[in-house]
Amino acid sequence: MISLVYSPDYALHQTGSHPENQGRLDIMMEYITREFGELTPEGGEIDIHPPTPASEEDLLQVHPLRHLEHLKNFAENGGGYLDYDTYESPQSYEIAKLAAGGAITACELVLSGHDFSYSLARPPGHHATSDQAMGFCLINNLAVALEYLRKNHDLEKFMILDFDAHYGNGTAEIFYQDPHVLYISIHQDPSTIFPGKGFVEEIGMGLGQGFNLNLPVSPGSGTSDYIYLLEKILEPVIKKFQADFYFLDVGFDSHQEDPLSHLQLDDDFYPWIASYMRKLASQMVLILEGGYSRDAMARSNLKMINVLRNKITPEEEWRPPGKLVVKEETKALFKEVQDRFSPYFTF
């Protein structure tokens, strides 16, 4: 069973013709309601829940007060571009709190017995560092939810799989020295795309060494390359780490139709990763990040949701048809990651 967390108020984060705009969520919800009908908290085919805004106390577990005050004051003064690509409108700060709260709401649903809960929110969060908005992100939604769980539910170990096309530099930086957070990111080679970080050698620091695992694939990599890498790495790493809680950071901008990356995932990757992760983790919170080809993300999102609502049994693994055709660069990347992480994990 999967529950959605969503609010139409996300439209109040008004970004105009910016690639990250409300049209992304509108078409995703259109596809979902066309498939399942009107959604209610009581459930039917799928249930939907409104988010509760994150409190200042929740936000301060991740972001210093000066960062929050800067976002709030900038919005109250009319908003505009915080940097060359990150936009804030007059109501964006309050809606960013709602997006962070959506991630917390999704976590509470899982803790109350829901198998999977999915926060469909904007603005996204994984590029926001503790003290800087960037990459369309104002507040780091996932990090706020993780720290909420750590403080309020005494959970200790967390695993994050991020498959946005862009490395989640903010999430990685926040937990870079934390041995209790395993962050795995598969993304386009950062020498060819924003944010210019996320290389194999970025493995964490101090006690967190070995718990930041990057898979920077070359432009042109597709579904076969992703499956090849993730099948080899995820299961042994997850089994050794033994997390108490699992996050899936969902990005659709690695799709071959997306204008902001040079990756070649097709619709089949998204039900596959949902199926594969469900086999390894019986409960998960999903948090929406990027994706800018509206039809591609809406189609792929619906296929992923259908896997998590048990259209196949947990014992079955959904696989795309045909044989994997893996690039030589991908095989070389696996060897590099295998060597780099040999002191920490065996895969």
Residue 41 confidence (pLDDT): 86
Q: What's the CATH number where 209 sits? A: 3.40.800.20
Residue 312 confidence (pLDDT): 60
Instruction: Evaluate whether residue 181 is within a structural domain.
Output: yes
What percent helix, strand, coil does the chain show, rounded to 5?
Answer: 40, 15, 45
Residue 318 confidence (pLDDT): 74
Give the count of domains, the chain: 1
Domain hosting residue 91, numbered range: 2-340
List, in order, residues 6 or more apart from 18 with CB less than 8 Å away.
Answer: 87, 136
Instruction: Evaluate whether residue 230 is within a structural domain.
Output: yes
Residue 310 confidence (pLDDT): 75
* Residue-wise pLDDT tens digits, 200-222: 999 999 999 999 999 999 999 99
Instruction: Evaluate whether residue 223 is within a structural domain.
Output: yes
Residue labelled with tokens 């970004």: 15
Instruction: Evaluate whether residue 37 is within a structural domain.
Output: yes
Alpha-helix runs per DSSP H in the chain? 23-36, 56-60, 65-76, 92-111, 141-153, 169-174, 223-241, 269-280, 294-308, 328-340
Within the chain, which residues score under 70 in pLDDT? 43-44, 311-316
Determine the Cα–Cα distance for residues 325 and 316; give it in Å rounded to an integer.
Answer: 23
- Tokens at residue 145, please? 């939810």
Residue labelled with tokens 């795995």: 184
Instruction: Evaluate whether residue 346 is within a structural domain.
Output: no
CA atoms within 13 A on the CB side of 91: 11
Is 127 known to be catalytic? yes
Instruction: Evaluate whether residue 347 is within a structural domain.
Output: no
The answer to whether 254 and 216 have CB atoms below 8 angstroms apart is no
Determine the Cα–Cα distance for residues 333 and 324; give it in Å rounded to an integer.
Answer: 16
* Residue-wise pLDDT tens digits, 154-186: 899 999 999 999 999 999 999 999 999 999 999
| pTM greater than 0.85 (yes/no) | yes
Stretch (H or E) spanning 291:
none
Instruction: Evaluate whether residue 291 is within a structural domain.
Output: yes
Instruction: Evaluate whether residue 345 is within a structural domain.
Output: no
Catalytic residue among 67, 126, 127, 166: 127
